[in-house]
Amino acid sequence: MKKVSGIDGCKAGWFAFHFDGAIWYSSLHDNIGELYESIDSELILIDIPIGLRGKEKCERVCDKEARKLLTRRKSTVFPAPSRCALAYDDYFEASEINKQKTSRGLAKQSFALIPKIREVDTFIQSENYFPDKKRIREVHPEICFWGLNGRSEMKYRKKDLLGKCERIQLLEKHLPKTKNLFSEARKKYKKKDVADDDIIDSLCCTVTAIYHDSLSSIPPNPESDSKGILMEMVYYDAFLANQPDKEESKAYCLSCGSTVGQISGSTDGMVEAIYDCPKCKVNYCSQCAWLKEDSLDGIALCLRCKSKMYRVG
């Protein structure tokens, strides 16, 4: 198993959990470079935007698609700022330059993240970053919780007591010692430096990293920014992992009951593909789904929610 780490930004800098296959431990660092140098994890998942738009008018696809998967928690996925805005420490200046370059102003939540986004963006473009040995990938905790919970989002806000309990209980299903790790970290670090939700989010990132060989990406085929950096969010899809083996069980259309190679009972046409809606957790065939022009690339629209579906058969 790979050595892995999960990182979340906090008031004191960067908080992280690490797992080497046998031992769990936590650490707190002033800057990302110091943290990176201090560990030998092969995969590092971090809750911060990686890969940024420049002067393009469109938002990052991973941000838009992640928001579609969440209902209650979609507002937690802030639009990432343009790289052009990273040089500004004044909100109004940063928002104005972001609007000039991308036709979009800057949300205050996004602006608050600029120092840490700038720090990570600078680091992964430096000679001190070695992705072949220690790779850093972007995650969003609410998407990770959604995936770990079988494509079902959290009901409560992460800073509320119920939200903390809900997330810890979910993580315990994947990591039984979650409560102990949380309690140990809570005793070790002051709340003014590391908040409860920083600890929980970091644990979530690390638990997700444990499934390194089975991670999914939003979008499935990530785009790259002008620097060649992937713009994606990765997560572990527990729902998909718990499905029967593909060789033993085929995917069938919920609407007409047909699978690939059969004649659809709805249209009398041949079913050429089966698509999965990650939001509704249902399958529709190429005859029943709302097909888009790029459906040959494996994309169609769900009959229920009209979200993008992805080809599974």
Contact of 98 with 84, CB cutoff 8 Å:
yes
280-298 tens-digit pLDDT: 777 888 888 776 544 445 5
pLDDT of residue 295: 44
Higher pLDDT, 158 or 292: 158
The answer on pLDDT for 173 being more than 90 is yes
Higher pLDDT, 296 or 124: 124
The CA distance from 55 to 279, in Å, is 31
Q: Mean per-residue pLDDT for 125-142?
A: 97
The answer on pLDDT for 300 being more than 90 is no
The answer on pLDDT for 266 being more than 90 is no
pLDDT of residue 165: 98
The CA distance from 221 to 235, in Å, is 14
225-240 tens-digit pLDDT: 999 999 999 999 998 8
How would you label 117-148 residue by residue, b for 16+ Cβ within 10 Å and e otherwise? bbbbbebbeeeebeeeebbbbbbbbbbbbbbb
Average pLDDT of the chain to the nearest whole number: 90
Position of tokens 């001190």? 128
Calculate what percentage of the chain has a pLDDT beyond 70: 93
The single-letter code of the amino acid at 146 is W
pLDDT of residue 278: 80
Contact of 261 with 268, CB cutoff 8 Å:
no
- How far the first Cα of the chain sits from its last, in Å, is 30
